């Protein structure tokens, strides 16, 4: 991320150890909490088909994401 100023990495874990300092919870909810709108973003998704489908549905319906700017291997199959 230091090499590319426009890349931001925010780790999110569902179950955290006691010393965890980062975000805890569902990654889709974390994105929704952090962004008012996803309208001007390219979104790359890796993960289970169910999660990729849920991301497309939630982000296009609730965060103004454009489906043509969302990319995932899963989208070829769902």
Using one digit for the tens of pLDDT, what is the confidence trace for 26-40? Answer: 999 999 999 999 999
- For the domain made up of 12-76, the CATH class stated in words is alpha beta
Closest CA to 65 of 76, 55, 75: 55
Domain regions of the chain by residue span: 12-76
In contact, 46 and 73? CB cutoff 8 Å: yes
Share of the chain above pLDDT 70, in %: 99
Calpha distance 72→49 (Å, rounded): 9
Residue pLDDT, tens place only, 39-61: 999 999 998 999 999 999 999 99
- pTM confidence score: 0.83
Calpha distance 23→73 (Å, rounded): 26
């Amino acid at each position: 991320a230091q090499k590319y100023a426009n890349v931001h990495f925010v780790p999110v874990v569902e179950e955290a150890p006691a010393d965890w300092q980062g975000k805890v919870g569902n990654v889709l909810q974390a994105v929704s909490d952090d962004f008012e709108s996803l309208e001007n973003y390219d979104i790359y998704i890796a993960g289970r088909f169910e999660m990729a489908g849920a991301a497309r549905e939630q982000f296009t319906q609730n965060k103004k994401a454009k489906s043509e700017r969302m990319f995932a291997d899963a989208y070829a199959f769902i």
